[in-house]
Structure 1
Amino acid sequence: MTGTTTVQVPAATVPSPDGRSLAHLPVTLFSSVMGLGGVSLAWRRAAHVYELPAWPAQGFLALAALTFVVVGTAYVVKWVRFPAAARAELRHPVRMTFAPTVTIALLVLATAGQSFAPGVASVLWWAGAGGHLVATVAVVSAWFGRADIVHGSVTPAWFIPVVGNVITPLAARELGSVELARFAFGVGVVFWVALLPLVLQRVLLHDAAFPEKLLPTIAIFVAPPSVAMLSWGALTGSVDDPVGVLLFSASMSFVAILLAQAGRLRRIPFAVPYWAYTFPLAAASAAAVAMAGARPQVVYDVVAVLLLGATSVLVLVVTGLTVRAAALGRICLPE
C-alpha cells in the first residue's frame, strides 16, 4: 500500500510469541553449578573422613562442569545477541546480587576439580578469586550510590556478592595464594557480620512484602557460617577450636530454622530460585562431615550422613526439575 513502510526485523532478535527468548536467560542459573559442585565437595570430604569411594564426588563434579559449559555458553550468547537485556540484568536492584554466582561457580569448580586438573583448576581459582573481589567492589558501590536500591531490595542474596569471598580459601594452599585467601576471608566475614542484621530485619519484619518466588533464598543464611567454618579450617588446619565450633553451631542453627519452614516452602511452585537451597545445604553437609572427622562422636556422624544424603537427593531432584522446565520452555521467560 502507498505510504506504508515495511520494517524488516532480524529473526535472531524476535522473541517467541509467548515471550520465551534467550534475552530472559537468568544469571541465577549459575547457582546450579554451585549446587552440583558443592555436593561434589561434600562427597569429596566424606570420602576422606569415612573412606568412601570417590565416584559420587566425581559424578557430581562432572555434572557441575557440564552445567557450567552449557549455562556459560548460553549466557555468552545472551551477551552477544541481547546486550541491552544482559546489562539491564546487571543493573537490576535485586538480580544484580546474583551475578557474582559466576565467580563463585569458578571457585567451586576449581576446588572440586583440583585433583583431576590442577593446572586448569589454578586458572579457575585465580579468575574466581580476583573476579569476586571486583564484583564485591562493584555491587557495594552500587548499594552506596543508587537511590533505587531501598529496603525492599534487600534479600538473603545480598550475601552472595560480598560474603561469597569466604569460598576463596578452600583451595588457596593448593591452587593459589594464601595471602589473598586471608584477605578475602576477612572481607567475607566482616560483611557477613555487617549484613546479617539487615537481612534478618528484611525477612523477619514484614513491612515490605517479600516475593514468594524468592522465599527459597532464605536458605542462603546457611551458607556463610558453613563455608566460613570450612575456610577457617583450610587456613588454620583445624575446625575443632572455638571459632570452628561457633561457626558450626551457627550453620546448624540456620539449617534447623530452614527445616522448620519446610511446610511453607514446599507449597512454592518450582522455579530457578529453587537452586538457592542446594549450595547452602551442600556447604552445611561438608561442614558437618568436617566436624564429624574432627570429633568422632555418633551425633556428628548422624547429622553429617543425614545432611549429605538429603542434600544429594535434593540436588538431583532440582536438576531433574530444571531440565524438565527447560525442555518445556519455562526457563527463559520474562518476569
Structure 2
Amino acid sequence: MDAELTAASQAPAPKLVHFPVTFFAVVMGLAGLALATHRVELYFGAPATASLVLIAVAALAFVAIAALFVLKGLRHADALRAEWNHPVKIAFFPAITIGVLLISAGLLPVSQPLAHGLWVCAASVHLVVTLGVIAAWISHRTFEQAHLTPAWFIPAVGNVLVPIAGVRLGYLEVSWFFFSIGMLLWLVFLTLVFNRLIFHNPLPERLLPTLVILIAPPSAGFVAWLQINGGEIDGVARFLYYCALMFTLVTLTQVKKLLKLPFAMSWWAYSFPVAAFVIASALFADATGAAFQRVTMLVAYAVLWGVILLLLGKTFGAIRRDEICRPEG
C-alpha cells in the first residue's frame, strides 16, 4: 500500500492541470484573422465567404478551449486559482472575453440577434474580469518589475474592442465608457512597460513574443474611435494609427530575435496585434483613399497569414511531440 501511495504521489500530473489560460490567445488570433479577412473582402468587393468560414473556425476553437478550461476548473480548482494569482498569467484571463467580443463582431453581418447576445454577455463579463484584474493589481500582493510585461495590455485591449460592435448595436454611451477605460489603461501601462523594458532586466525569452502586443492597443483604439466618431479620420484617429505604425516598426527590429526563440504558446501573441493593424490600415485606406495605407494593409495581411500558418504548424508539431501542457520549469 505504501509503495502504491508513493508511486501515485510521484506520478506526473494530468495534462489538464497545466492547460493554460494563454490558449485563449489562439481564439484572439483566429478571430482577428477572420475580421481582417472581412475587411480585405470588402476592399476587393468579394463575397464574405472566407471570413465566415474563419469566424466559424474561431468559434469552434473557443468552444473547445473553453470546455477544457472549465473542466480544468472543475477538476483542478487549485491549479486554476494559482493561475489567477500568477503575476503574469492573470493578464491573460481577459483574453477569454476578448475572444467572444471578436466573434460577436464577426457574426454581426450574419445574425445581429446572435451577435447582440454574445456581445452583451462578453462585455458584461469583461467588465467583471477587468475589475477583478485591477483589484488584484492594487491589492496588498507584491508585484515586482520583473512581473510587468506587455501582456498587461490585454485587459486594456479588451475594453477598447467593446465599441467595435457596440456602436453598431446602439450602445454608444456604453462604448464610450469601455473606450475610455481602455485608453486610460493603455497610457498608464505604456509608461510602466517602457520603464521596465528600458531600465530593468530584459524580458525572459518565453515572454519576448508579448512585445508584439504593443501594436494592439493603438490599432484597436483606432478602429474603435472610428466607430464612435462616425468614421471620420480626425487628429485622434491619426494619432492612434501612427502610434500603431510606430510600434509595428519597432517590432520589425526584433523579428530576427523573436524567430530564434523556442516555440511556446505565448507565440500566439504575434497574431491578434497584426490582425488589428491590418483592419486599422484597411479602414484608414477606405476613409482617405491613401495609397500608403492600402499597400500597408495588403502587406500586413500577407504577413498575418504567414504568422497564423506558422503558429498552427508550430502548435500542432508541439502537440505531437507532447511539448505543451507541461509544468513550467
Same fold (TM over 0.5): yes
Q: Among 280, 288, 306, which residue is 2:281 paired with?
A: 288
Measured after TM superposition, the shift of residue 284 of structure 1 is 0.4
When structure 1 is superposed on structure 2, of 319-328 and 180-189 the one drifting more is 319-328
Structure 1: 5+ residue stretches without partners: none
Structure 1 residue 239: Cα displacement? 4.4
CA–CA separation in structure 2 for the residues paired with 1:228 and 1:140: 20
Cα distance in 2 for partners of 1:222, 1:174 equals 24
User: CA–CA distance in 1 between the matches of 2:68 and 2:10?
Assistant: 15
Please state if 1:240 is matched with 2:233.
yes
Task: Trace 1:313-332 onto structure 2 (pairs within 5 A).
Answer: 313-332=306-325
Residue 218 in structure 1 maps to residue 211 in structure 2: yes
Instruction: State TM-score, norm by structure 1.
Output: 0.92
Distance 1:33 1:56 in 2: 17
TM-score scaled to structure 2, two decimals? 0.94
Write the mapping of 1:132-211 to structure 2, written as runs, cut at 5 A.
Answer: 132-175=126-169, 177-205=171-199, 207-211=200-204
**Aligned equivalent of 2:30:** 36
Tell me what 2:263 maps to. 270
Deviation at 1:151, TM superposition (A): 1.4
Give per-residue Cα distances to partners, 1:158-215, cap 9 Å, x unaligned: 111234200000001334622211100001011111111101111222x234211000
Equivalent residue for 1:75, pick from 61, 66, 69: 69
Give 2:181's aligned amino acid.
V
Shift of 1:105: 0.7
- Looking at structure 1, the residues matched to 118 and 11 of structure 2 have their Cα atoms a distance apart, in angstroms, of 36
State the match for 1:306 in structure 2: 299
Deviates more, 1:253-262 or 1:315-324: 315-324
Residue identity matched to 2:249: A
| 1:237 to 1:88, Cα distance in 2 relative to 1, 3 A | same
Q: Which residue of 1 is the match for residue 124 of structure 2?
A: 130
Alignment partners' CA distance in 2, 1:316 and 1:59: 16
Letter of the structure 1 residue corresponding to residue 130 of structure 2 = T
Q: Which residue of 2 aligns with 1:21?
A: 15
Q: 1:209 to 1:310 in 2, by over 3 A?
A: closer
- In the TM superposition, what is the alpha-carbon distance from 1:47 to its structure 2 partner? 1.8
Q: Is the 8 A contact 1:225 1:248 kept in 2?
A: yes
- Counterpart secondary structure, 1:174: coil
Is the contact between residue 114 and residue 121 of structure 1 (CA under 8 Å) also seen in structure 2? yes
CA gap of 1:209–1:305, structure 2 versus 1, over 3 A, is closer
User: Which residue identity does 1:164 align to in structure 2?
Assistant: G
Does residue 257 of structure 1 match 2:250? yes
Q: Which amino acid aligns with 1:290?
A: L
- Shift, 1:330, TM fit: 1.7
For the aligned residue pairs, the C-alpha RMSD in angstroms reads 2.0
